[in-house]
Structure 1
Amino acid sequence: MTGTTTARHAAEHEPIARVLPMLTVPHLDREFDYLVPAEQSDDAQPGVRAKVRFHGRLVDAFVLERRSDTDHVGKLGWLDKIVSPECVLTHDVRRLVDAVAARYAGTRADVLRLAVPPRHATVEKKPPVPVEPFTVAPVDTAAWAAYSGGAQFVSALQDARAARAVWQALPGETWPHRLAEAAAVTVGAGRGVLAVVPDQRDVDLLHAAAIERVDAGRVVALSAGLGPAERYRRWLSVLRGQARVVIGTRSAVFAPVADLGLVLMWDDGDDSLAEPRAPYPHAREVAMLRAHQLRCAAMVGGYARTAEAQALVRSGWAHDLTATRQTVRAHAPRVIALEDSAYAHERDAAARTARLPTVALDAARSALAANMPVLVQVPRRGYVPALSCAKCRAVARCRHCTGPLSLPARDAPGVVCRWCGREEPSMRCARCGSDAIRAVVVGARRTAEELGRAFPGAQVITSGGDDVVASVPQRAAVVVATPGVEPVADGGYGAALLLDSWALLGRQDLRAAEDTLRRWMAASAMVRSRADGGVVAVVAESAIPTVQALIRWDPVGHAEAELDGRTEVGLPPATHMAALDGVPAAVDALLHAAALPDGAEVLGPVDLPVGARRPAGIAGDATVSRMLVRVPRDGGLELAAALRRATVVQSARHDHEPVRVQIDPLHIG
């Protein structure tokens, strides 16, 4: 590197700055040395933002360290500018960034873009708001006694010990209050807390519960919905040690919480916790890495349980926090499984209209008669999101992009493609030529219409898509919602009806059963207990193991079976698996360049999974395939390192299109 040699003078003490430029290419993911001008020496501290000249252009960078010597042969360039003296990359976060890049075969620059938000100069220049000293009032943690090991876990937090647990929340449990209690106990012990939840609604619920127990000025909520200025202002309050409890969505897992004592994760099976940008880390894995590095307490909680969380328990890294079977039965609603019988429909016209067995209708009618709301969970939003030919049953697809055709509304002039948005005024089957169509999947809005006819006089409320309802009062109403946006009912729902189970269980996905149970349990947990008359009716065959797990309310047993099944066939989390997506020649070249560890098994090629995004930089008409590389559980870091080195080689050669590398992706095929 060469730089301009003006009348600049290098800093007298530690004149070399080792910096990491924020470059996108893998072969430049390394540190470079620059001379520090004397006038910038005071500000050029490790962790600050800087600007450096790299191949003639000005690029962003982070100062990693100051040195007295360099191993660079030749003339050094000058550090161009210190953007701000604020140390935004702390030592702990830098260690975490390095570990995440190594775990997911990515570049540190990509991880840093997730970890450190863009600077907002106006906010940064404002003086910090003075925060009064605070004390945490005594916290009532009696509710944790319902869980085996709950009292011991709280006691460990009070003593600032590194307790790790997987918490199985009881049905009907007000999980924000339990997490807020754990956070308040940790803050009372003088430590910081980081809580990661799937979406904004969960952030709001947990934030409201936390400020009841910890001073509001010490609790900060971080989420993508905040504007750049407000998000940076809150993030700075965390960096400067003003906030002691940080609550946020997946990107908040990197928040620079001072003296971190507890990491909380709620509902780790939610897809939104998986980062869609390179290197595609999962917030659960980052949180557990952070807890391991800092030797702090950690807890993963949920109504259901993932195989990954169960693997933490099985390995001994975390303890189980579960209630006794007797306690679970006392809190759970009565769950019945009902087959969608044509015979029952013939006997009851209302059942035929609402696509529900008579028993489910009777449960809903009883709840409505008792002036309680009824929850109806429908897997798909919209009116009729999927159509097929009424004659040959072929799926109706767009002539332009082959996307699925849908009917957006009852009075819509024609069907619309869900991918490209083109309208098809007159549909004709490409296979048999028929112009008759039928509904394959019925959406939430169509279901609401049908239930309105089945329950004349009852108010029908729809929650889903862009029209999400936060809560409903305790009165007779039918609430139709898609999974994840069910409104909270004051006092709980009298009944819940889980429709179209085949649409969830029938997906060609490794996690279909696990995700289905998670969605069912989240809805069922809102229903009153069996003693209070709460009933959950799931329209599915009772012999299905996932349905049985719901009936028995046994998420731990289901997670155990999932983990055993994946161990038997060699799938994550029993193994580590890398998915390589790209044009076949580029994928082959990457594998050829990679010195894969012993025991690595190469599988494929296979077609890119339906719904998966194409890798960036590949032409739209190019064929994209996926190769899988599987290694034993203890070979994950070695596999990631091998693929990282191969990516660097391929990036430097510029002789192939880029290949997307994902370690343990949520959706393998």
Structure 2
Amino acid sequence: MTELNSPARPGATRQQAEHEPIARVLPMLTVPHLDREFDYLVSADQSDDAQPGVRVRIRFHGRLVDAFVLERRSETDHVGKLGWLDRVVSPQQVLTPDVRRLTDAIAARYAGTRADVLRLAVPPRHANVEKQPPPESAAFTPAVVDTTAWSAYRGGEQYCSALDDARAARAVWQALPGEHWADRLAELAAVTANSGRGALAIVPDQRDVDALYAEAIRLVGEPWVVALSAGLGPAQRYRRWLSVLRGQARIVIGTRSAVFAPVASLGLLMVWDDGDDTLAEPRAPYPHAREVAMLRAHQLRCAALIGGYARTAEAQALVRSGWAHDLVGTRQEVRARSPRVVALEDSGYAQERDPAARTARLPSMALQAARTALQSGRPVLVQVPRRGYVPALACGRCRAIARCRHCTGPLSLPARDTAGVVCRWCGREELSLRCTRCGSDAVRAVVVGARRTAEELGRAFPGVHVVTSGGDSMVAAVSDEPAVVVSTPGAEPVAAGGYGAALLLDTWALLGRQDLRASEDALRRWMAAAALVRGRSEGGVVAVVAESAIPTVQSLIRWDPVGHADAELDSRAEVGLPPAVHMAAIDGAPDAVHAMIDTAELPEGADLLGPVDLPLGVRRPPGTPPDKPVSRMLIRVRRDAGLPLAAALRRAAGVLSARRDHEPVRVQIDPLHIG
């Protein structure tokens, strides 16, 4: 008998399985025209292990490839001789029916292949971990959960009751300023676990995973909580994933790929801060964790929650459509908890009267707010949109952006004592800089980075400790003592007791980006920083250096993220942009893009935009020669034509893949950044 994980000896006589001798398998092949099932014979000695959901090896066109068994059959539709399964890699059924159904839906939604989705959903096997016996787990003891904090939100208590009753309640939660979001999500997860079901929480990064994990184990105990993230090693990640598969975890917390985790009896799906870029998968078929979570909640008829201090247009569209309800605080609660927000224009006259303000690049009133907070013994947060020293340079005479001669990337000054400037794209150093437009050798800073800002604030506040957080040197928390904390967006440390003041600098760098989500992303980053500041009753102040007439600044002053998301959704509907419509971006060589459009049977009313040259900084599609130009074509359709558009592009990709006449193109449905 052939032992498990070993192929049959060459020339050995095989006898097919007595019952259901046909295995329908899905090969892990990324070429679109081979995204279909194939039938293979199962030998008698493989029959017990070759069950649906297991990994196998098959011989395909003369080479061994990985595959998943989808089902066992008694008959085949194939005309001709069938090949044999080469071997069963493992008897562990890693592809569950729920995850398989989700994989099919995501491939259809994003015009991708199921093999690409499965690579995101099922982690690579670790044989030694799989052979270890699972640890024995004690009986789950329901935790005592205090949900009174949810009474501050309209509908909050009703939502908790719905989870306790195992109802499929769906909501978009607007976290109040100063809210301990990890505590609130852990409470909802514990309520769900007490009802006998599983909870899955998706957060942007490792710091958020750690914060939510700590609160979850405090409520329900460590054996019942599992954290999944890309930072784990292969063995540890697979061990934890197996514990989820085997039903040993009630609460699962992770980053974007954990949205596919095979949680048993899933009752609640939560996504925190869905506007964060890290929740968008950079690998094909480029799904967004929020969309995967909502699709999974719809398939399983389970509860769902999208939360954040700010709100995206996509989340607001769910509320407007009736798919989800609002969980927002009353205006009285918002006013009581939010800091006082003031907008200050960067007046040169004010800086002339105050030398320290001129040194720190701050309006005098912002500098005074920081001094008041420091004198009261509280730390001050300063948010700078760029890390580094001087991340962008321009000609001092004609203001042309300084770019690398080799790759046209932006040039930067990494440190004060650096001899030359460095390209941020290719890393080449330029010792003698001269403007290609006017020939001047004078340069100026376009954006000042966090390290340069910390240096300037150190001179403005002599004797005060300055902390820098961002990039590879992130600080998790700071004490409740006088300090100036300079941070990039998303890297703000948590201050014990809250910051006394926050200063939001260089706001134009966020608002002025040529991006569909520039204002939405700016408000999200500002609110995340402002939420760490004490309330106005305790003297908390947020100073944003921007014109108060800007609508995004007004939304921050009023602390009205729902109104901003509502207006953003209306404006996108007016000009025909997602989420009011569905849009596909096709990137590739010009002839390949045109072949894709000509081959696809697009839905009626599809609007073609382009082609245009691919924007600078966007990765080239795989397989495109480096010396060949790359263009982008946009296809816009109505909301109800999203699935037909994805199906048309998926079929066209399969046809072109089989012909091999052109280089492959990259297809993205509703890309996060259009241009």
Fold match by TM threshold 0.5:
yes
Matched, 1:409 2:419: no
Query: Could you tell me how far apart the structure 2 residues matched to 1:471 and 1:498 are?
Result: 19
In structure 2, the partner of 1:473 is 479
| Alignment match of 2:497 (pick from 491, 507, 514) | 491
Shift of 1:4: 8.0
Kindly report which structure 2 residues correspond to 1:496-507, keeping only aligned pairs within 5 A, or say none: 496-507=502-513
Question: 1:97 touches 1:112 (CA, 8 Å); kept in 2?
Answer: yes
1:49 to 55, 58, 68: 55
Preserved contact between residue 136 and residue 213 of structure 1 (Cα < 8 Å): no
| 1:238 equivalent in alignment to 2:260 | no
**Preserved CA contact (<8 Å) 1:134 1:215:** no
| Secondary structure in 2 matching 1:213 | helix
Following superposition, the deviation at residue 562 of structure 1 comes to 0.4
**Aligned counterpart in structure 2 of residue 180 of structure 1, from 168, 183, 186:** 186
Match of 1:547 among 540, 543, 553: 553
1:533 to 539, 545, 559: 539
Task: Determine which of 274, 278, 281 is the counterpart of 1:268.
Answer: 274
Deviations 1:266-313 (A, max 9, x none): 000000000000000000000000000000000000000000000000
Q: 2:170 aligns to what? A: 164
Query: What are the Cα deviations for residues 627-653 of structure 1, in whole angstroms up to 9, with x where unaligned?
Result: 000110011001000000000000000
**How much has 1:607 moved relative to structure 2?**
2.0
Quote the offset at 1:89 in angstroms.
0.1
Aligned to 1:587: 593
Map 1:186-201 onto structure 2 (within 5 A): 186-201=192-207
Give the aligned residue type for 1:597: P
- Using the alignment, how far apart are the partners of 1:364 and 1:638 within structure 2? 55
Equivalent position of 2:649 in the other structure: 643
8 Å CA contact 1:4–1:78 kept in 2: the answer is no
Q: CA offsets, 1:488-536, max 9 Å, x none?
A: 0000000000000000000000000000000000000000000000000
Aligned-partner SS, 1:211: helix
**Corresponding residue to 1:617 among 604, 615, 623:** 623
Residue equivalent to 1:105: 111
Tell me the distance in 2 between the aligned counterparts of 1:413 and 1:238.
53
Establish whether residue 313 from structure 1 lines up as the match of residue 353 from structure 2. Answer: no
Give the Cα separation in 2 of the matches to 1:576 and 1:150.
32
Shift of 1:429: 1.1
Structure 2 residue 636 is matched with structure 1 residue 630: yes
Q: CA deviation at 1:401?
A: 1.2
What secondary structure is seen at the aligned counterpart in 2 of 1:122? helix
User: Percent identity, aligned pairs only?
Assistant: 78
Q: Please list the CA deviations of residues 595-654 of structure 1 after superposition, one character each: whole Å capped at 9, or x if unmatched.
A: 001111111112212321110100112110100001100110010000000000000000
Is 1:600 aligned to residue 606 of structure 2? Answer: yes
Moved more, 11-20 or 390-399: 390-399
CA spacing shift, 1:563–1:4, aligned 2, 3 Å: farther
* Partner of residue 140, structure 2: 134
Query: How far apart are the structure 1 equivalents of 2:663 and 2:74?
Result: 40
Q: Is contact 1:136–1:214 with CA below 8 Å preserved after alignment?
A: yes
**Match of 1:645, SS?**
helix
Contact 1:4 1:77 in 2 (8 A): no
In structure 2, the residue matched to 1:31 is: 37
Separation in structure 1 between the aligned mates of residue 609 and residue 411 of structure 2, nearest angstrom: 33
Instruction: Check if 1:22 corresponds to 2:28.
Output: yes
What's the secondary structure of 2:220's corresponding residue? coil
Whether the aligned pair in 2 keeps the contact of 1:218 and 1:245 (CA below 8 Å) is yes
Partner amino acid, structure 2, of 1:258: A
Q: Which amino acid aligns with 1:32?
A: F
* Aligned mates of 2:503, 2:625 — CA distance in 1: 45
Residues 582, 624 of structure 1: 8 Å contact kept: yes
Number of the residue aligned with 2:343: 337
* 1:17 aligned partner, one-letter code: A
Residue 73 in structure 1 maps to residue 53 in structure 2? no
1:40 aligns with 2:40: no
Equivalent in the alignment of 2:426: 420
Aligned-residue offset at 1:430: 1.2
> Deviation of residue 369 (structure 1)?
0.1
1:511 aligns with 2:522: no
Task: Specify every segment of 5 or more residues in structure 1 that has no aligned partner in the other structure, as ranges.
Answer: none
1:355 maps to which of 347, 350, 361: 361
Q: Which amino acid aligns with 2:15?
A: H
Instruction: Tell me which amino acid in the other structure corresponds to 1:162.
Output: A
Number of positions where the alignment pairs a residue of Structure 1 with one of Structure 2: 667
Q: Deviations over 1:67-89 (max 9, x none)?
A: 00000000000011000000000
**1:211-237 deviation per Cα after TM superposition (whole angstroms, max 9, x unaligned):** 011121010000000000000000000
Q: CA RMSD in A?
A: 0.9
Deviations 1:47-95, CA, capped at 9 Å, x for gaps: 0000000001000000000000000000000011000000000000000
1:5 Cα deviation (Å)? Answer: 7.2
What amino acid sits opposite 1:283 in the alignment? Answer: A
Show the counterpart of 2:448: 442
Q: 2:64 aligns with which of 58, 65, 82?
A: 58
Residue 6 (structure 1) shift? 4.3
User: Can you give the 5+ residue segments of structure 2 that lack an aligned partner in the other structure?
Assistant: 1-8
Q: Judge which range, 276-285 or 389-398, deviates more.
A: 389-398
Q: Does structure 2 conserve the Cα–Cα contact (< 8 Å) formed by 1:191 and 1:260? A: yes
